[in-house]
Amino acid sequence: MSNTETTLCLVIGANSAIAQSLTHQQLAQGNRVVAVSRTALAFSHPHLTSLVCDNSESDIEAVCARIAHETDLDKLRYAIIFNGLLHNDKISPEKRLEHINQYQLVQSFQANSITPALWMQHLLPILQQSSGCHLCCFSARVGSINDNRLGGWYSYRASKAALNMLVKTFAIEYARRAKKVKLVAFHPGTTDTLLSQPFQKNVSPEALFKPAFVAEQLLANLAKLPADQQASYIDWQGKNIDW
């Protein structure tokens, strides 16, 4: 691929801060972006296609059917799933086992595991048309089973660990059915977004990243990963994380 080739990037969960930064960066480089979000993006661009999806299985299937009619799918280089949930006005990370409840577990697994799985399922026919693509899901280091030394955060940890297993398992089947697609679980580090704001007080300034920096690191590190038909679990530095 030459440096001047116009490519296509699929951004799912496009209203997140990191996703918007990545979208702007891709557009600034002259690339095309198909952005999918629950609500329409607040900006437009000649090279941007904005689609709305409520993340129900039927809507995901319908949106993928529409994306399948895009031109130049062979130039699709990145498909990035930003969807995830750590907290909202009804839930927050559990500090002890007494805080575990069914509602929070269901909400966490729906956002962090089930929704990405449905996207990875329905994207297969689209990604089969690419001449080489990275399919990336936003995970978290706390989803690592081997790295869990502090405990707590039951719903978030478990749902991200489930996502990691899904990425690994999808990679096995993708290796047979879409050999030019590389699957990646990505830990962005602590980023200055709404998701991390309640937990920033113990984070040093140099360890709190801007969304634009994380977007740059993500694409730079994805570009270094070969299409080896294996799943990778990496952080913002490109370092491997234990599953």
- CATH code at 8-235: 3.40.50.720
Rounded distance between C-alpha atoms, residue 200 and residue 109, angstroms: 24
Confidence of residue 4 (pLDDT cuts 50, 70, 90): low
Q: Round the average pLDDT of the chain to a whole number and report it.
A: 94
Rounded distance between C-alpha atoms, residue 239 and residue 190, angstroms: 15
- Name the nearest CA neighbour of 213 among 186, 239, 237, 183: 237
- Tell me the per-residue pLDDT of 152-187, one tens digit each, with 9 for 90 and over: 999 999 999 999 999 999 999 999 999 999 999 999
- For residue 2, pLDDT beyond 60: no
Question: Please, are residues 187 and 140 in contact by the beta-carbon 8 Å criterion?
Answer: yes
- Tell me the per-residue pLDDT of 188-204, one tens digit each, with 9 for 90 and over: 998 877 666 676 666 77
Q: Which amino acid is at 119?
A: W
- Count H helices and E strands in the chain, helices first: 6, 7
Q: Among 105-109, 117-121, 205-209, where is mean pLDDT lowest?
A: 205-209
Rounded distance between C-alpha atoms, residue 121 and residue 170, angstroms: 8
Q: How many percent of the chain have pLDDT more than 70?
A: 95
- For residue 205, pLDDT beyond 80: no
- Name the nearest CA neighbour of 163 among 135, 189, 190: 135
Q: How many percent of the chain have pLDDT more than 90?
A: 88
Q: For the chain, where are the alpha helices, taking DSSP H only?
A: 17-28, 57-67, 102-109, 115-127, 154-177, 211-224
Give, to the nearest 10 degrees, the angle between helix 154-177 and helix 102-109.
30
Phi, psi of 191 (to 5 degrees): -115, 145
Q: Average pLDDT of 64-86?
A: 95
Domain ranges within the chain, ordered by starting residue:
8-235
- For residue 240, pLDDT beyond 60: yes
